[in-house]
Chain A
């Protein structure tokens, strides 16, 4: 298994440009997530999905959009890029186990995309 893969690894955008960050997982995980990590900071959740066709906002969704048409893919779209979106973006996935107890599901992270907006 390749696990969680992300493309591209690096990208420089000009202000106002758009792009899509790709994320694919081959572990048949239902849950997928997009985080951003600013320098010296923890991860902040942008969007997440509990299955194909179902997405929801996280803590910092403004300026981003997502879609989930298949179990494997969860692309993140940036419209009208701004310098504040300069960050490292991580995609993650997890498989929910039995309900009725505290969730201890492991999130598996992709290698990240380093985005700079100038």
Chain B
């Protein structure tokens, strides 16, 4: 079983702080990595993807990838209450198929 692991949380962060979400994966051949956000009772929506080692920034979001350590993370700067959601890490393992982690529930406290 090729797995994607996330800490299920809940992760509680004060408003304005940096939220750090982590994900590890077992398949060393994985090539692209995705972060989805899912509000309670809603469907997942893509925040960003990354496939090269290092950092990728998009607004308040930064994805970080370290293929040697099989580790991908998502940083959310200046956290807002509207960022409270479950964040799903997904790994592309070929043929357009994604394997999802169990998600980390994030709560931003005003």
Binding site for B on A (CB under 8 A): 31, 33, 35, 40-45, 48, 50, 56, 58-59, 90, 94, 96, 102-107, 109-112
A88 to chain B, nearest CB (A): 9
Chain B residues whose CB sits within 8 angstroms of the CB of A58 once the complex forms: 97
21 residue pairs of the A-B complex, CB under 8 angstroms, read A31-B96, A35-B100, A42-B100, A42-B102, A43-B88, A43-B98, A43-B100, A44-B100, A50-B95, A94-B96, A102-B31, A102-B92, A104-B49, A104-B51, A104-B92, A105-B96, A106-B46, A107-B98, A110-B43, A111-B43, A112-B43
**Contact present for A90 and B43 (CB under 8 Å):** yes
Contact partner, B96, options A41, A42, A103, A111, Cβ 8 Å = A103
CB distance from B98 to the nearest CB of A (A): 7
CB distance from B67 to the nearest CB of A (A): 11
How many residue pairs, one in A and one in B, have C-beta atoms under 8 Å apart? 60
B32 an interface residue at 8 Å Cβ cutoff?
A: yes
In the bound complex, how far is the Cα of B100 from the Cα of A33, in angstroms?
A: 13
Of residues 1 to 23 in B, which have CB atoms within 8 Å of A's CB atoms? 4, 6, 8
> Contact at B92–A40, with CB atoms within 8 Å?
no
Task: Quote the shortest CB–CB distance from A17 to chain B (angstroms).
Answer: 25
Nearest Cβ on chain B to A8's Cβ, whole angstroms: 15
CA distance A111 to B38 in the complex (A): 11
Query: Which residues of B (78-92) have their CB < 8 Å from a CB of A?
Result: 88, 92
| B11 to A: closest C-beta gap in Å | 14
- Of all chain A residues, which has the CB nearest B52? A102
Q: For residue A94, which residue of chain B has the nearest CB?
A: B96
